[in-house]
Amino acid sequence: MDHFLYRDGQLHAEDVAVRDIAATIGTPFYCYSAATLTRHYHLFTEALSPLPHMVCFAIKSLSNLAVLKLLGDLGAGMDVVSGGEYRRALAAGIPGDRIVFSGVGKTREEMRLALTGGIRQFNVESEPEMRALSEVATSLGLRAPITIRVNPDVDAKTHEKIATGKSENKFGIPIARASEVYAEAARLPGLEVIGIDVHIGSQLTDLAPFEQAYLKVADLTRRLRSEGHTISRLDLGGGLGIPYARSNEAPPLPMDYGALIKRTVGDLGVEVEIEPGRLISGNAGILVSSVIYVKNGEGRDFLIVDAAMNDLVRPSMYGAHHDIIAVEEPAPGVDARVFDVVGPVCETGDTFAKARPVAPLGEGDLIAFRSAGAYGAVMASEYNSRPLVPEVLVKGDHFAVIRARPTFDEMLSRDTIPEWL
Ligand SMILES: *Cc1c(COP(=O)(O)O)cnc(C)c1O
């Protein structure tokens, strides 16, 4: 459920007409709903209660400071995968002890940044990283709290680019080698081992792979404890999928996911962390765009819109589906018209949808791409020298631009022509 609904024939974000936002800031833009973000965060906290837990929002899915502040004020922790995301979390007012640091390639500089700024734990992904972290922590006179990310070798049955829990993926250490790696971690002076981490992929639409992975983690917890390690925290990753095509998708609910967590690791006396990104932010955002032209081709009609692959790359990068709706509600009984929906970028890959029934739209009409809150704005670029797409947050009847569209002067001023040229 989200808060983008038609009211009086107009698409609203909560109590604000999307048309009014478009009239104020122009298109394209992302629009997020505070109520939806809040609701999704609470679904997880409710699903995990009464287990001791922390829901750490995966910043990489949507990293605007206003969104991080909103979730942080609700009590959310943050999962960061770079020094830049770590800085964003701090800048949004999230205390270090609610920030977990994931990622396969943390640099020594990033480790130093997080150790001095405060950190809940590092999710370590390899032995070389473990040794580097111990060195950095020791040089600062500190001990770094860590979990080690294990690769459980389960098939997440998701898009190959976002599956992370198979043995051929670059993530984590093979679960079969865990005893050996934990033994080395325990000997390293700059580390304090506190738990285990696992994350098997993104946009999972079935609970079975989670169950396989979490059962393996539960077994590993018992084994590592018997080998003398303290395992007081399990980070179970993110990855729960969302419905992108409302008409025919019904992925598992957070409540069922929570029940699965309780069933698999609930009796271990551990604190549970999860790192959802997409489920919190995905359906909390839309991308709003205007129709530039309707072009009649041979055997198909093109809707040429002012958003493009640089603004929302998921269709062209993952072949992803986004529902596309008219901002002005089609009158009852009006037949949909079928379009290929494309952007202005000079690549055939700049196609959002093929043969999609939308509405009988014309020049200047507004459309919205649904489910665009996650991996939308964060993956946007200025390809084709198109200004980085702005972001708007709605709460009740308020809206604010939370990232402005850059001016062309700003964009040009980032380049430097060398004196000797
Ligand atoms: C991407 C990622 C997440 C978030 O995944 P979602 O599918 O957005 O929930 C969480 N943890 C790690 C380590 C990730 O890489």
Strands 338-342 and 351-357, bridge-based pairing = antiparallel
Is the CB of 149 inside a 6 Å radius of any atom of ligand 1?
no
Residue 185 · residue 146 · CB < 8 Å: yes
Are 319 and 227 contained in the same domain? no
Give percent of the chain with pLDDT exceeding 70.
100
Number of domains observed in the structure of the chain: 2
Residue type, 284: A
Nearest CA to 90 out of 62, 76, 69 is that of 69
Among the residue ranges 4-8, 165-169, 247-251, 289-293, the one predicted with the least confidence is 165-169
Any domain includes 355 = yes
Any domain includes 356 = yes
**C-alpha span between 225 and 215 (Å, rounded):** 16
Are 264 and 369 contained in the same domain? no
Does 67 score more than 80 pLDDT?
Answer: yes
Residue 387's pLDDT is 98
Are 134 and 252 contained in the same domain? yes
Is the CB of 158 inside a 6 Å radius of any atom of ligand 1?
no
Is the CB of 58 inside a 6 Å radius of any atom of ligand 1?
yes
Are 186 and 105 contained in the same domain? yes
Q: Give me the sign of the Cα torsion angle 135, 136, 140, 142.
A: negative
Residue type, 208: A
Which of 199, 200, 236 to mutate to test ligand 1, by most ligand atoms within 8 A of the CB atom?
199
Q: What residue's CA is closest to ligand 1, atom 3? A: 238
Helix/strand/coil for 113: helix
Residue 217's pLDDT is 98
Does 290 score more than 80 pLDDT?
Answer: yes
User: Across residues 250-264, what is the average pLDDT?
Assistant: 97
Residue where one domain finishes, among candidates 240, 257, 280: 280
Tell me if the bond preceding 50 is cis, omega within 30° of 0.
yes
Is the CB of 80 inside a 6 Å radius of any atom of ligand 1?
no
Residue where one domain finishes, among candidates 229, 247, 280: 280
Is the CB of 202 inside a 6 Å radius of any atom of ligand 1?
yes
Residue 246's pLDDT is 86
User: Across residues 34-61, what is the average pLDDT?
Assistant: 98
Q: CA-CA distances (angstroms) from residue 367 to 143, 188, 282, 331, 415?
A: 52, 56, 18, 15, 34
Please give the distance, rounded to the nearest whole angstrom, from the Cα atom of residue 274 to the centre of ligand 1.
Answer: 9
User: Across residues 32-54, what is the average pLDDT?
Assistant: 98
pLDDT-derived band at 245 (thresholds 50, 70, 90) equals: very high
* CATH number, domain with residue 289: 2.40.37.10
Please give the distance, rounded to the nearest whole angstrom, from the Cα atom of residue 158 to the centre of ligand 1.
Answer: 13
Residue 344's pLDDT is 97
Nearest CA to 72 out of 47, 46, 50, 99 is that of 99
Is the CB of 239 inside a 6 Å radius of any atom of ligand 1?
yes
Q: What is the DSSP letter of 348?
A: T
Any domain includes 418 = no
The whole-model pTM stands at 0.97
**C-alpha span between 170 and 184 (Å, rounded):** 21
Are 258 and 310 contained in the same domain? no
Is the CB of 282 inside a 6 Å radius of any atom of ligand 1?
no
Residue 374 · residue 57 · CB < 8 Å: no
Tell me if the bond preceding 28 is cis, omega within 30° of 0.
yes
Residue 298's pLDDT is 86
For the chain, the average pLDDT equals: 96
Any domain includes 421 = no
Residue 170's pLDDT is 84
Any domain includes 419 = no
pLDDT-derived band at 159 (thresholds 50, 70, 90) equals: confident
**C-alpha span between 193 and 178 (Å, rounded):** 13
Are 23 and 100 contained in the same domain? no
Any domain includes 420 = no
Please give the distance, rounded to the nearest whole angstrom, from the Cα atom of residue 375 to the centre of ligand 1.
Answer: 11
- Domain extent for 69: 34-280
Residue 42's pLDDT is 98
Strands 29-33 and 285-296, bridge-based pairing = antiparallel
What tens digit of pLDDT does each residue of 342-382 get? 999 988 899 999 999 999 999 999 999 999 999 999 999 99
Residue type, 319: G
Does 167 score more than 80 pLDDT?
Answer: no
Are 301 and 160 contained in the same domain? no
Please give the distance, rounded to the nearest whole angstrom, from the Cα atom of residue 60 to the centre of ligand 1.
Answer: 8
Are 327 and 393 contained in the same domain? yes
Residue where one domain finishes, among candidates 260, 280, 300: 280
Q: What is the DSSP letter of 205?
A: -
User: Across residues 77-103, what is the average pLDDT?
Assistant: 98
Nearest CA to 121 out of 139, 147, 141 is that of 147
What tens digit of pLDDT does each residue of 100-157 get? 999 999 999 999 999 999 999 999 999 999 999 999 999 999 999 999 999 999 988 8
Separation of first and last alpha carbons in the chain = 56
pLDDT-derived band at 163 (thresholds 50, 70, 90) equals: confident
Please give the distance, rounded to the nearest whole angstrom, from the Cα atom of residue 1 to the centre of ligand 1.
Answer: 21
Are 46 and 10 contained in the same domain? no
Residue 367's pLDDT is 98
The residues annotated as belonging to the active site are 346
Are 149 and 263 contained in the same domain? yes
Are 19 and 91 contained in the same domain? no
- For ligand 1, what atom is nearest to the CA of residue 278? 8
Strands 301-305 and 324-326, bridge-based pairing = unpaired
